[in-house]
Homo-oligomer: A and B are copies of this chain.
């Protein structure tokens, strides 16, 4: 057992990172002060990007981890389709097997009998590339796509009314092979090798039942979900997600993230996960003058302050006008159109930068793999409709779209999604 507060990571020795820092502060009085202070700063700096390798988040709980968990810096996301031979029992077994494997890997343990401890005349249960690596803050979040609720698995009458493919939005250029999916797994960790190991082993477990439809790696979280995290920058070079929902706002999280009085009881305590792969034409962006970049975003590039303020967290004044009769924050500025006062709603963003190498023009194939969590996909849709006139649209292309129902967390001994099959 650990002494961590809920939602706080524990380390294998039972001392949470926050507690360790507290102890360090107490222990550095006197002669050790200078060294202690330097070390505290180093840890804090490290935590702002990579986190502590010893972080281990519980897999079992009321909600799945990887939603309000402070955003880890690396992502491997995979969407799966069930195979043509899979049936309801196979789906249930897959979810049980995934639950067991996820519960092990998130605590820094190998899958099953491990990579080296089994029968040498059998293939190992675990693929082995994470042997010796710490838990690294790994979370594994499992979701169900709309297509899972067709007539294949007897789930048609359990489909939530909210779980429909997203509508087509302005400027959408979606590619079907990298959109949608029956199931999804989001693996986030401080170390990409740990995230990749998780997706690889869950994919291996699914062999014969489900296979990857598409997948995406990401880095450099572009949102914070905790006030303890500095705001990160997207590949336009701007701070992103300043006004994001934070886990320290429990009332707002309850209002905007967790499903409450659902039409489908099995979704109570769950959420809806939206992914959008957004290609950025960064070569074009990089030729835009600084002042215009700031007008398009509506914030300063350095501090990230709204153009009507001087500090990042200053509230934007959307009414403030200039002497020539326009608004200081232009009417088509991203910050205006994405702001809760415009959209009327809030979402929990959890996206990542991506670079998929380069394209045939020698340009970086780069952008934002947008992820948001909300109690209804309609919240995302309201934001996306508002962005139809966003000046940023000239520099981005939405090329994939998916939505998944993320069921509540499982209790130890059960499995993720069990109430769906009751």
Which chain A residues have a beta carbon within 8 Å of chain B's beta carbons? Answer: 13, 15, 20, 23-24, 26-29, 31-36, 38-39, 42-43, 45-46, 49-50, 52-54, 74, 76, 78, 80, 115-116, 118-124, 126-134, 177, 190-193, 196, 199-200, 203-204, 207, 211-217, 219-220, 230, 233-238, 282-283, 286-291, 293-294, 300-302, 353, 355-358, 360-364, 366
A311 to B365, CA, bound (A): 43
B45 touches A53 (CB 8 A): yes
Question: How many angstroms from the CA of A45 to the CA of B342 in the assembled complex?
Answer: 46
Per a CB cutoff under 8 Å, which of B15, B33, B38, B134 touches A38?
B15
Residues on B with beta carbons closer than 8 Å to the beta carbon of A49: 53, 133, 191
A27, A29, A122, A132: most-surrounded residue (chain B CB, <10 A)? A27
Chain B hits for A118, CB < 8 A: 290
Chain B residues near A234 (CB-CB < 8 A): 129
Residues of B contacting A216 with CB < 8 Å?
A: 357
CB neighbours of A233 from chain B (8 A): 128-132, 193
Closest-CB distance, A14 to chain B (whole angstroms) = 11
With a CB–CB cut-off of 8 A, which chain B residues contact A357? 214-217, 356
Query: What is the chain B residue whose CB lies nearest that of A240?
Result: B129
**For residue A136, which residue of chain B has the nearest CB?**
B49
Flag if A26 contacts B35 (CB, 8 Å).
yes
Residues of B with C-beta under 8 A to A356? 356-357
**7 smallest A-B Cβ distances: which pairs?**
A128-B237, A27-B32, A211-B362, A27-B35, A116-B302, A120-B291, A193-B220
Q: How far does the alpha carbon of A74 sit from the alpha carbon of B293 in the complex, in Å? A: 29
Set of chain B residues within 8 Å of A293, measured between Cβ atoms? 124
Q: From A78, which residue of chain B is reached at the shortest CB distance? A: B358
State A217–B216 Cα separation when bound (angstroms): 13
10 contacts between A and B (CB under 8 A): A28-B32, A76-B355, A123-B286, A123-B287, A131-B233, A132-B230, A196-B235, A203-B364, A211-B361, A215-B364
Q: Are B46 and A289 in contact (CB under 8 A)?
A: no
Residues A34 and B42 in contact, CB atoms below 8 Å apart: no
Contact, CB under 8 Å: B27 / A355: no
- The reply to whether B53 and A46 contact each other, CB–CB distance below 8 Å, is yes
Kindly list chain B residues whose C-beta atoms are within 8 Å of the C-beta of A366: 196, 200
What is the bound-complex CA distance between A212 and B358, given in angstroms?
Answer: 7
A16 shortest CB reach to chain B, Å: 12
B204 pairs with A283, CB closer than 8 A? yes
Contact in complex: A116, B291 (CB < 8 Å) = no
A133: shortest Cβ distance to chain B, in Å?
7
Most B CB atoms within 10 A — which of A78, A212, A237, A363?
A237
Complexed CA–CA distance, A230 and B236 (Å): 36
Give the residue name and chain of the B residue nearest to A294 (CB): B120
Q: Which residue of B lies closest to A31 (CB)?
A: B27
Q: Give me 15 other A-B pairs in contact (C-beta within 8 A), A80-B362, A193-B233, A213-B362 excluded.
A: A24-B35, A27-B31, A27-B34, A27-B36, A46-B53, A50-B50, A120-B290, A122-B290, A124-B290, A124-B301, A128-B236, A131-B233, A132-B233, A192-B219, A212-B364
